[in-house]
Structure 1
């Protein structure tokens, strides 16, 4: 009996041991399989993270989309939300040291550049024909911020030299020639025609550099010379830059440092120049014409103007002082106020410029806006402007509303003819400094909060200058 019980016990123990071993093996196999999947996922995530860098806007910036939503920038891209870096692909990618001479290079695929220079390469294009005729950008933000779907794109630390040839871009989101990130493009004697939606002529973003010499650029939807998130440096010498067909297509839209010398800049249906946020436009001996035919989107409270300095709050431009400087040349407004400042600090400097104002418009308007586009909050989104005239002759009235400020400086044999706040509006602050070599000729009663200078240099023409409500002449 004992022998039988012993055998039964041994059988049970053996079974238990075998069961435990089988369970352990199964658990080990399951654990090994489970560990494999996270390893693959992690590798994929690492690869994705390498190519997907969030570009978040400043805190409080509205996450707006395309189609005229509040915060969108005229002539710029839809702004606001964070966007992953997506530059797409290239139909032809240039190798280091490569030079293309003549020939035609095309792209008809979505999110694809016709020609592309990336990485640490230096390449050149000579008398090349580039056509981006089809293929829609999957992201309007990426096409504006990173060059997705552009006809020609340089990125990373690439240097691309372009001489002659033509670039035609008619696809949605297909900018003409685009420099992104740490890249540099030198382009000369090239013709660029851009007609696709959300696309302009030549562009920098992400800190890139582009120099353009004697180009002919035509754009129908966005700016001929433009920049977007991250800005950069763009310098133009000579050439003709023309936009038509859209009230959101200025000749220049700046979220960067843009300089143009001896260029002809014409916006047939839009304002001529826009500077957003802590950025600048400098013009030397240029011929500039704007004809803003309407406002952006459906907002009826917007101002018609020729040069605008503002902050959209979209996140595309750092908040700070906007700067417009013009020396020599001509500046023509066919419709709207010559200068408009809203929701930003700004400095406007003029020297020896020949200005032509539109009928019934202000020379300068500094005021808040209705906030319908996200340009600050109505009632607290006025402008703060410094208007510096040196060796400048100009005429026209100035208006500064109750939530805005103006510091006007008239010096170096300048002559200003016009009235300031002739309706008696009291600006938040409004000072005029007139040096002994310059004159101010009144065309109506004017109201300022401070006047620095001699009344001997003010020609009143029977009108009265009021300082803090008191007549001083």
Structure 2
């Protein structure tokens, strides 16, 4: 379910997932909470046969690989040019490459006029009802192709299975309905695209997505716009990289990563973000839904030489129920709020781990980077902040004295405090701490930590009236990704992630 999972928040990014999924409540079959982002998992109360989701999808789909059919079944070595093909039937693709063939399609138009999917899970995981599908190790080349879909569960371009490959040079995609992503790869499939123009309008319709079994999507040059709830520009349960992209999400996050997967953004400008609903909004969400669509491990988000613009009223980065790594280099972070980073538990209403044991752990690395805002780490979470050369940070760090935060500052970095801050381990390459501007505030560190022994438990006076002081600190052991709920066969067909959108 390409990220119906993310019913969640989109905070999914929170978040959102990302991580995002519409669910039926125990008290009423017709009462639904806000949908999670594209890849979010369904609520545990939503069971097969219990009510219908407002986006038209009913039961949780089984995961048995379906037989696919299409208007045009490609043959090996077949090269098609200047055709217009359309499908009107449910569970029918327009073009299908299977059984290890190699084929190409150029200067053509493909339309999925109607015919909703009969099974959202099979659409999200295996490409049922998608416009173009490559499976079974097939290789398909698309050049100067236009694709439009107007049916539920109708992804535009779908690659599924090991060694399945779709290479694209020049494509225009418009999807109108729910759970209809632009480029989507699952179970080891790969899509390599350049010169793309993508617009999705439904819920759970990420422009670029991967789902169950992981996949790889690489994009160079183009534009992407998503409008639906739970539809981030990028939703990854695999490995997605974009370069030279202009992207915008008006109903979901910029990007969501679920589990041990990655997103790389280079030389691009992307905007998006969710508003606070039941928990929090965010622009980038790293989480684990526990749906089984993404392996547990470290989510890795990297941005280089780019501009990321948040439209959220919450944190720019939100990390929950997972281990994560954020790498920023020369990226302009445009954030309308005072909250830069939140690493914390969630209320577990969406099944993201067990309450009280679903915090996050984060390694945050920055280089040649301007950062501003508050960094929040709650009592069951942990963050390692590595402000490397060229980093200029202005804000507060763990001002609530809640989480376990380790701070490492390069001699060529600058930290300016806007409130009292609390860290477990303090490491600064500048022996005189001249790279810390305190504005009269105090930076507290854990005097009992062996790594702070060199500080000598002394009060260090900073030039502008602030101090560095050692105090006793105790922390809970950070926990994440616990409490997977059994018996969840899949998520509803929507888009991907909390925004799988």
Residue 466 of structure 1, CA deviation = 1.1
The one of 422, 430, 445 aligned to 1:467:
445
Q: How does 1:11-26 map to 2 (within 5 A)?
A: none
Residue aligning to 1:229: 212
Residue 306 of structure 1, CA deviation = 0.4
The one of 215, 224, 228 aligned to 1:241:
224
Is 1:388 paired with 2:365?
yes
CA deviation vs aligned residue, 1:288-312 (integer Å, no higher than 9, x gap): 10132455xxxx2x32000000000
Q: Is contact 2:191–2:216 with CA below 8 Å preserved after alignment?
A: yes
TM-score by length of 1: 0.81
Q: How does 1:91-170 map to 2 (within 5 A)?
A: 91-170=71-150
Residue 142 of structure 1, CA deviation = 0.4
Query: Any idea what SS the aligned residue of 1:312 has?
Result: coil
Residue aligning to 2:37: 74
The one of 263, 284, 294 aligned to 2:245:
263
Residue 333 of structure 1, CA deviation = 0.5
Residue aligning to 2:481: none
Indicate the structure whose relative CO is greater, using CA pairs within 8 Å and at least 6 residues apart: 2
Counterpart CA distance in 1 for 2:225 and 2:424 is: 41
More helix by share: 1
Q: How does 1:24-103 map to 2 (within 5 A)?
A: 67-68=22-23, 74-76=37-39, 83-103=63-83
Residue 69 of structure 1, CA deviation = 6.2
The one of 321, 328, 333 aligned to 1:350:
328
Residue aligning to 1:435: 410
Query: Any idea what SS the aligned residue of 1:143 has?
Result: helix
Residue 73 of structure 1, CA deviation = 6.0
CA deviation vs aligned residue, 1:205-244 (integer Å, no higher than 9, x gap): 0100101101000012210101100111110001001101
Counterpart CA distance in 2 for 1:343 and 1:87 is: 36
Counterpart CA distance in 1 for 2:443 and 2:24 is: 43
Residue 87 of structure 1, CA deviation = 4.4
Q: Is contact 2:152–2:178 with CA below 8 Å preserved after alignment?
A: yes
Q: How does 1:291-440 map to 2 (within 5 A)?
A: 291-293=273-275, 295=277, 300=278, 302-335=279-312, 336-359=314-337, 361-422=338-399, 424-427=400-403, 429-440=404-415
Query: Any idea what SS the aligned residue of 2:94 has?
Result: strand
CA deviation vs aligned residue, 1:241-275 (integer Å, no higher than 9, x gap): 110132x0000000011111111121111111000
Residue 413 of structure 1, CA deviation = 2.1
Residue aligning to 2:191: 210
Worse-superposed segment, 142-151 or 411-420:
411-420
Query: Any idea what SS the aligned residue of 1:372 has?
Result: coil
In the alignment, structure 1 segments of 5+ residues that lack a partner are 1-64
Q: Is contact 2:275–2:282 with CA below 8 Å preserved after alignment?
A: no
In the alignment, structure 2 segments of 5+ residues that lack a partner are 1-19, 26-32, 43-59, 448-458, 460-466, 470-501
Q: Is contact 1:77–1:144 with CA below 8 Å preserved after alignment?
A: no
CA deviation vs aligned residue, 1:14-62 (integer Å, no higher than 9, x gap): xxxxxxxxxxxxxxxxxxxxxxxxxxxxxxxxxxxxxxxxxxxxxxxxx
Return closer, same or farther for 1:210/1:87 CA change in 2, 3 Å cut-off.
farther
Counterpart CA distance in 1 for 2:24 and 2:375 is: 30
Counterpart CA distance in 1 for 2:283 and 2:131 is: 30
Counterpart CA distance in 2 for 1:75 and 1:288 is: 17
Q: How does 1:269-280 map to 2 (within 5 A)?
A: 269-280=251-262
Residue 82 of structure 1, CA deviation = 5.1
TM-score by length of 2: 0.77
Residue 334 of structure 1, CA deviation = 1.4
Q: Which entry has the higher C-alpha Rg, 1 or 2?
A: 1
Residue 337 of structure 1, CA deviation = 1.2
Q: Is contact 1:77–1:198 with CA below 8 Å preserved after alignment?
A: no
Residue aligning to 2:427: 452
Residue 86 of structure 1, CA deviation = 1.2
Residue 457 of structure 1, CA deviation = 1.4
Q: Is contact 1:77–1:141 with CA below 8 Å preserved after alignment?
A: no
Counterpart CA distance in 2 for 1:197 and 1:356 is: 30
Is 1:283 paired with 2:260?
no
Q: Is contact 2:273–2:284 with CA below 8 Å preserved after alignment?
A: no
Paired residues in the alignment total 400
Return closer, same or farther for 1:77/1:271 CA change in 2, 3 Å cut-off.
closer
Counterpart CA distance in 2 for 1:344 and 1:379 is: 13
Counterpart CA distance in 2 for 1:146 and 1:365 is: 34
